[in-house]
Chains A and B, each alone.
Chain A
Amino acid sequence: MASLQVADLRHTNFGRTNLGRTAVVTLVLATCLASAAFAETKKEYSFAVGPNANISVDTQYGAISVRPGSASQVMVTATLKSEKVEVDLQQMGNRIQIASHLLPGADEATGQVDYEVLIPPDATINAHSSTGPLSAEHLQGDITLEGPDAMVNVRSVENGHVHVQTMRGPITLTDVRNGHVEIASISGDVHLKSVSGPLVQVNSGSGKIFYDGDFGSGGDYKFTTHTGDIEAVAPADVSADFSAHSVLGRVHNDFPLQPKAHSRFSFEAGRSFFGTVGKAASEVVLRSFSGRIRLKQR
């Protein structure tokens, strides 16, 4: 009787072990199949280019990161998340076009391609990704970044023009100098840290605009929102001609402004202010329809 019980027990254990092994094997096979289906592939490409090359990168889903590399070469590393997406490349002289090409059945997960692009510092880059993120840093050529939902980050850029456009993606620019900066977003927040140049123009509908910098010297700064708030922080020794007006929102100013004889806005207590600080080297216009505007002294 006892030996029979032991035999039953062994049989039961044996059955459990088999079941466990089967489960493990099934799991491994499933993982392998899933890995095959979503096989991540990394591809590298390089192009020889001359001065002032023009590079365009276009993907529906995925990140694009652009950094400086060799002065005469463009290096592209594309990470494809599945076989349902391809990379098309084309070089026409000094112009290079790189684009993701979705195959039937591709979706946001399987159609994703992440790009890391090394370009000559003086090259022009145009990058688009619907999902992003998009980033560019340490460049000196013109930069255009667009993506409806993409988070955009631009850092340490000099001399080139920077154009950014999103629908609701947040935008951050840090240490951008000596170029035209034009930013448009429908509802994305815009953060500018140490950004200066001959033209810095930001327009957002419901997004907020934050500026932290010295407004450079001799530039035009125009920040506009419809419902979003605007907050600008500048050092006490800033040199600028300020005008601010919110049609329906409130305004606040920390600076001792020298009054001006003429202003683009009518004065309304609490809804506008204008005046100069220092030698008024730059012009700063802050406008909102119903957002709050605040000019703070650092």
Chain B
Amino acid sequence: MTCSDVERVLPELLDDAPDGALPGEVEAHLKSCSACSDLVSDLKLIASEARQLAANEEPAPRVWLRIAAELRAEGLIRDIESAAARPVLVPVPTSSGRRWSAWWLAPVAAAILAAGAYVISHKPAPQVATHQAPATPVTAPAAVAASVTLAPVPAPAPQQLAQKSARPEFAKSESARSAGVRRSEIESAPSAEDQQFLSAVSTLAPSMRTTYELQLQAVNADIRETQAYVDRNPGDMDARQHLMDAYQQKALLYQIALDRIQ
């Protein structure tokens, strides 16, 4: 059995055997192939982590439908008539040399979205809307300074955060400094999925490695920066939405790679 044979059958096998038991010939190949073995480990880890997410923490069905529709349109998945429309991964034709076998990115992108949804769904008690007394027309925001904000969680103003965190070793961006994010936090090591992603890019599209690495670093920095801010200001609903947006940006990056690295 070859690596491509394993890649072709693996998604169905993992779906059919959630306990991890694989046919003997696949197991035999995995023992002799570290690349496939690592791939299986990663997929099992992703599947395991995904199962940890409760149903109400999953993205809306339309998110899954959209991902499925895009994958189906790309020919990466097909519907089995007898399997009640459950999509399965299909091998990508390689004769043109245009696409690479990176179907594992699909669950990773989905996991990123799920993680974002998880973060967003774990919000504290809803913030009470801002009430403003009717006033005469105003030109500047200062004129509505008399507005009353009732928030259940008192959060320090960003200006206060900036004063607290204005130390030279902090992150280079003004926003990162304002959020009190340390450089070490901004530049932390890439995750296993990111490393696998970059490894695939290096192998199949080495000229694009730097581009994708920089984009990935920037998106990850945005996520960490926003997460740090949300941790300090759990009642800031808009910051939470930005965190979700940042996760979606990362999912978009994976999707672009999934679409077309050649």
The residues of A that contact B215 with a CB separation of less than 8 Å are: 167-168, 186-187
- Asked if A112 lies at the interface with its beta carbon under 8 angstroms from chain B, I say no
- Asked if B129 lies at the interface with its beta carbon under 8 angstroms from chain A, I say yes
Q: Which 8 A-B pairs have the closest CB atoms?
A: A290-B175, A273-B141, A289-B242, A248-B175, A248-B178, A205-B249, A267-B147, A266-B149
B162 to chain A: closest CB distance in Å? 8
83-107 of chain A: CB within 8 A of chain B: 101-104, 106
Question: Are B246 and A184 closer than 8 Å at their CB atoms?
Answer: no
Alpha-carbon distance A245/B237, docked complex (angstroms): 12
The residues of B that contact A184 with a CB separation of less than 8 Å are: 252
Question: Are A226 and B242 closer than 8 Å at their CB atoms?
Answer: yes
B185 to chain A: closest CB distance in Å? 15
The main secondary structure of chain B at its interface with chain A is helix
Question: Are A259 and B132 closer than 8 Å at their CB atoms?
Answer: yes
102-142 of chain B: CB within 8 A of chain A: 127, 129-132, 134-135, 137-142
- Residue among A227, A272, A287 making CB contact with B141, cutoff 8 Å: A272
222-253 of chain B: CB within 8 A of chain A: 222, 225-226, 229, 236, 238-239, 241-242, 245-246, 248-249, 252-253
Question: Are A206 and B145 closer than 8 Å at their CB atoms?
Answer: no
Question: Are A205 and B174 closer than 8 Å at their CB atoms?
Answer: no
- Asked if B18 lies at the interface with its beta carbon under 8 angstroms from chain A, I say no
The 23 listed contacts between A and B (C-beta, < 8 Å) are A130-B262, A168-B211, A203-B245, A203-B248, A205-B222, A205-B246, A226-B245, A226-B249, A227-B173, A247-B238, A248-B179, A253-B141, A256-B138, A257-B138, A259-B135, A262-B130, A265-B130, A267-B147, A267-B149, A289-B222, A289-B226, A289-B246, A290-B175
- Asked if A275 lies at the interface with its beta carbon under 8 angstroms from chain B, I say yes
The residues of B that contact A245 with a CB separation of less than 8 Å are: 238
Alpha-carbon distance A128/B255, docked complex (angstroms): 14
- Asked if A6 lies at the interface with its beta carbon under 8 angstroms from chain B, I say no
Alpha-carbon distance A272/B149, docked complex (angstroms): 13
Alpha-carbon distance A146/B262, docked complex (angstroms): 15
172-225 of chain B: CB within 8 A of chain A: 173-176, 178-179, 207, 211, 215, 218-219, 222, 225
Question: How many A residues touch B, CB cutoff 8 Å?
Answer: 53
Given A205-B249, A290-B174, A269–B242 Cβ distance below 8 Å?
Answer: no
How would residues 255 to 296 of chain A score, 1 for a CB under 8 Å from any chain B CB and 0 otherwise? 111111111011111111111000000000001011000000
Question: Are A259 and B138 closer than 8 Å at their CB atoms?
Answer: yes
Alpha-carbon distance A247/B181, docked complex (angstroms): 15
- Residue among A102, A146, A269, A287 making CB contact with B96, cutoff 8 Å: A102
- Asked if A140 lies at the interface with its beta carbon under 8 angstroms from chain B, I say no
- Asked if A198 lies at the interface with its beta carbon under 8 angstroms from chain B, I say no
How many A-B pairs have beta carbons closer than 8 Å: the answer is 148
- Asked if A60 lies at the interface with its beta carbon under 8 angstroms from chain B, I say yes
Question: Are A227 and B222 closer than 8 Å at their CB atoms?
Answer: yes
Alpha-carbon distance A272/B141, docked complex (angstroms): 7
A142 to chain B: closest CB distance in Å? 14
Alpha-carbon distance A273/B219, docked complex (angstroms): 27
The residues of A that contact B138 with a CB separation of less than 8 Å are: 256-259, 275
Residues of B within 8 A of A (CB): 96-98, 127, 129-132, 134-135, 137-145, 147, 149, 151, 157-158, 173-176, 178-179, 207, 211, 215, 218-219, 222, 225-226, 229, 236, 238-239, 241-242, 245-246, 248-249, 252-253, 256, 259-260, 262
Give the interface centre of A256, A275, A289 by most chain B CB atoms within 10 Å.
A289
A191 to chain B: closest CB distance in Å? 20
The residues of B that contact A266 with a CB separation of less than 8 Å are: 127, 130, 149, 151
Residues of A within 8 A of B (CB): 60, 101-104, 106, 108, 128, 130, 146, 148-149, 165, 167-168, 184, 186-187, 203, 205-206, 224, 226-227, 245, 247-249, 251, 253, 255-263, 265-275, 287, 289-290
Question: Are A247 and B229 closer than 8 Å at their CB atoms?
Answer: yes
B181 to chain A: closest CB distance in Å? 11
Alpha-carbon distance A273/B127, docked complex (angstroms): 18
B72 to chain A: closest CB distance in Å? 14
Alpha-carbon distance A12/B248, docked complex (angstroms): 74
- Residue among A186, A247, A256, A273 making CB contact with B249, cutoff 8 Å: A186
- Residue among B139, B158, B238, B253 making CB contact with A287, cutoff 8 Å: B238
Given A102-B97, A167-B215, A187-B218, A224–B256 Cβ distance below 8 Å?
Answer: no
Given A60-B98, A247-B229, A257-B138, A263–B175 Cβ distance below 8 Å?
Answer: no
B128 to chain A: closest CB distance in Å? 10
Alpha-carbon distance A289/B97, docked complex (angstroms): 40
- Residue among B98, B145, B175, B249 making CB contact with A269, cutoff 8 Å: B145
Q: List the A residue with the shortest CB-CB distance to B239.
A: A247
Alpha-carbon distance A287/B120, docked complex (angstroms): 17
Alpha-carbon distance A10/B245, docked complex (angstroms): 80
Alpha-carbon distance A102/B97, docked complex (angstroms): 6
The residues of B that contact A275 with a CB separation of less than 8 Å are: 138, 144
